[in-house]
Amino acid sequence: MVVKTPQALREALTDKGRVGFVPTMGYLHEGHGALIRRARSECDTVVVSVFVNPKQFGVNEDLSRYPRDLQRDLTVAGAAGAALLFHPDVDTMYPPGYATTVAVGGASEPLEGSARPGHFAGVATVVLKLLNIVRPERAYFGEKDWQQLAVVRQMVRDLNVPVEIVGVPTVREVSGLALSSRNSYLTPEQRERAAVLSRALRAVQAAAEAGERDAARLRQAGLAVLQTEPEVQLDYLAIVDRDLRERERVELDPLARVLIAARMFGVRLIDNLPLFEPLPSGLDEAEALSGTGGL
C-alpha cells in the first residue's frame, strides 16, 4: 500500500502494533531487502519510505539522474515484508516557507562531511522529519553508509528521539562490491572492476588481523590493491576509531573501521569494513556501542 501524506500514513498505522521503519531513496535492491526482512522479524508492521531527498545532494551531484522506479520499489518492499510504502512529494516534505535544518556536529565532520559539505545536514534533516512522521519503535540503516549511521545515532542520542537505531550488515555482490542504487550506473564489467574497492578494504582488514597496528602501514596495504586498477580516483582511504577519528596506531576495537570513497567510471562509490571481524565472542553491537565514546 502506497501512502503520500503524513496524515494518511498515521491513519494507516493505527493499531498496527510495533512499527519498524526503513528510510530509503528508492530504487530498492537486495540490500534494502535485508533491512526490511530484519525489521519484519522484529516488528509487527514495517514502513518503507521512498524519497529522493534534494537537501542531501550538493552542486553538480546526481539528483536529476538518480535512479527512480516506484513499481520496482513496491515489488521489492512487498516481497521482503513491508506493509506500507511512504512516498511523499518534495512539497510535502519541504512546503513553501520551510526554513529549518538539522546540523549534527561530531560524527558528521570528517570524511564525507569534508568531501560533501552540507550533505549530512540534509540527511539529518530528512531523517528526523521521517522519524517524527512515522514514529517507529525501531529504524533500520545499512552499515554500508557507516558514517551516516553514526550521524543518525548521534542525532537520536543528542535530541532524545524515542527510537532504536539498528545497523544491518552490508549486502554485497558475488564480486564483493557493496550493493548500492548507484551501481545501476555501471555496466556488469565495470561493477566487476569496482570490486577492487572491497578487495582493498579486505587487504587492510587482513593486515590488522595479522597484527599490524600502524595506521600508515595498514593504509598502504589497501593502496597497493587500489594501484592495480587505473580507473580508481581515490577520495579517501581512512582507518578510524569508534569516533571516526584517524589515529597513528589502531587498537583492537570492534568499532574500529576502514572506510573508502572513490570515483570509478564517473560514479562515486563508498564502502567500509570493520578492522577486526567478527565482534569478540559475547559482545553484540548494542554492547559495543554502549562503550565510552561509542557511535
The 10s digit of each residue's pLDDT in 232-243 is 999 999 999 999
**Residue 277: which pLDDT band, with cuts at 50, 70 and 90?**
confident
| 29 carries an active-site annotation | no
Helix or strand (DSSP H, E) at 49: strand 45-50
Contact predicate 240/260, CB 8 Å:
no
Task: State the architecture of 2-168 in CATH terms.
Answer: 3-Layer(aba) Sandwich (3.40)
Residues of the chain with CATH 3.30.1300.10: 181-289
Q: Which residue bears the cell 521503519? A: 21
Cα separation values, 172 from 40, 79, 236, 257, Å: 21, 19, 21, 18
Report the share of the chain in percent with pLDDT over 70: 94
The confidence score (pLDDT) of residue 279 equals: 53
Catalytic residue among 29, 32, 87, 119: 32
User: Whole-model pTM above 0.85?
Assistant: yes
- CATH number corresponding to 181-289: 3.30.1300.10
The confidence score (pLDDT) of residue 234 equals: 98
Residue 284 has pLDDT above 50, yes or no: no
Q: Which residue bears the cell 511512504? A: 86
Cβ contacts of 135 within 8 Å, gap of 6 or more: 10, 13, 19
Helix 70-80 × helix 30-42 angle, to 10°: 40
The confidence score (pLDDT) of residue 60 equals: 87
Residues of the chain with CATH 3.40.50.620: 2-168
The 10s digit of each residue's pLDDT in 211-222 is 999 999 999 999
